[in-house]
Amino acid sequence: MSTALWLLAIQGALGAFDTLYYHEWRARLPAGVPGTRPELLLHAARDFLYALLFGSLPWVAWRGAWAGVLGLVIAAEIVITLADFVVEDRVRQPLGGVYPGERCMHTVMAILYGAVLAHLVPVLLEAWRLPTGLVVEPAPVPEALRAVLSLMAVGVLGSGVRDVYAALALPRGHWPWPVAAPLKPSASAPAGQEP
DSSP per position, 83-95? HHHHHHHHHTGGG
| Helix, strand or coil, per DSSP, at residue 60 | strand
Q: Is residue 36 part of a domain?
A: yes
Q: Is the residue at 180 inside a domain? A: no
Cβ(60)–Cβ(137) below 8 Å: yes
pTM of the model: 0.89
In angstroms, rounded to a whole number, what is the distance separating the alpha carbons of residues 166 and 34? 9
Residue 194 is assigned to a structural domain of this protein? no
Residue 179 lies in a domain: no
The pLDDT of residue 160 is 98
Residue 181 located in a structural domain: no
- Angstrom distance (rounded) from CA 195 to CA 189: 8
Count of residues in the chain: 195
Burial class (CB in 10 A: 0-12, 13-18, 19+), 181: exposed
DSSP helix/strand/coil, 133: strand
Strand partners, 60: 136
What would the pLDDT profile of 181-194 be if each residue is shown by its tens digit? 665 554 444 444 44
User: Domain tally for the chain?
Assistant: 1
Q: Indicate whether 177 belongs to any domain.
A: no
| Model pLDDT, residue 179 | 85
Residue 54's nearest CA partner among 129, 114, 139, 165 is: 139
Residue 19 in domain: yes
Residues of the chain with pLDDT under 70: 181-195
| Dihedrals phi, psi of 35, to nearest 5 degrees | -60, -35
For residues 115 and 5, the answer to whether their CB atoms sit within 8 Å is: no
For residue 95, what pLDDT is reported? 83
pLDDT on residue 182: 60
DSSP assignment letter at 128: H
- What range does the domain containing 155 cover? 2-167
Backbone angles phi, psi at 135, to 5 degrees: -110, 125
In a domain, 178, yes or no: no
- The Cα 68–Cα 42 span in angstroms is 23
